[in-house]
Structure 1
Amino acid sequence: MSETQTQELLSRLAKIEGHIRAISQMVETGRSCPEVLLQIAAVRSALNKVAKMLLKEYAQQNLVDAAQGGNLEEEIAHLRSALDSVI
């Protein structure tokens, strides 16, 4: 993964971390359930975007290398496992 991609992922994760802290504060201050659930949905969406970015990068890097190295089936199994954990 390039330095730019790593920084983008870290930036997104920092925003998600801040968003989660804000949700905790919402719960502490007694905000309504629909408001909290909306923010939880936003965090889920942001995490899904990070997961997609990681999976895309993994597929681009590892599958090409695996195809050239002759261990494509093994890498496909790893990718399937990763997808199962996300979906």
Structure 2
Amino acid sequence: MSTCDKQVCNRLKRAEGQLRGVQKMIEEGKECQEVIMQLSAVRASVDRIMGTIVAENLKNCFENPEESIENQTKKLEQAIQLIVKR
């Protein structure tokens, strides 16, 4: 497992813990504003994880080109669309 994979797994575990905390907050009847604040933190965490994964994959594509420049360009465009699409 690469260093990046370990970092991503650690971040995913942290996000999982945050989500469990949100579930507990809801079960305990915490205020909506508090729950939303925590959900925003989870979303930001997941967004950073996505960025890390995409950046690492793009880096690998350009460091280890296995395809034509056209295919690499297409993959780059697809990766950008995945990030931008919401």
Contact 1:16 1:47 survives alignment (8 Å): yes
Q: TM-score, normalised by structure 1?
A: 0.83
Q: Percent identity, aligned pairs only? A: 24
2:42 matched residue in structure 1:
43
Query: 2-side partners of 1:5 and 1:50: how far apart?
Result: 10
Counterpart residue identity of residue 73, structure 2: I
Task: Give the number of the structure whose residues are more often helix, by fraction.
Answer: 1
Q: Structure 2: which 5+ residue stretches go unaligned? A: none
Q: Distance in 2 between matches of 1:8 and 1:28?
A: 30
Cα RMSD of the aligned pairs, angstroms, is: 1.7
- The reply on whether 1:76 has 2:62 as its aligned counterpart is no
- Equivalenced residues, count: 84
Report 1 or 2 for greater relative contact order, CA contacts < 8 Å, sequence distance ≥ 6: 2
Tell me the distance in 1 between the aligned counterparts of 2:69 and 2:8: 27
Alignment of 1:22-61 (within 5 A): 22-61=21-60
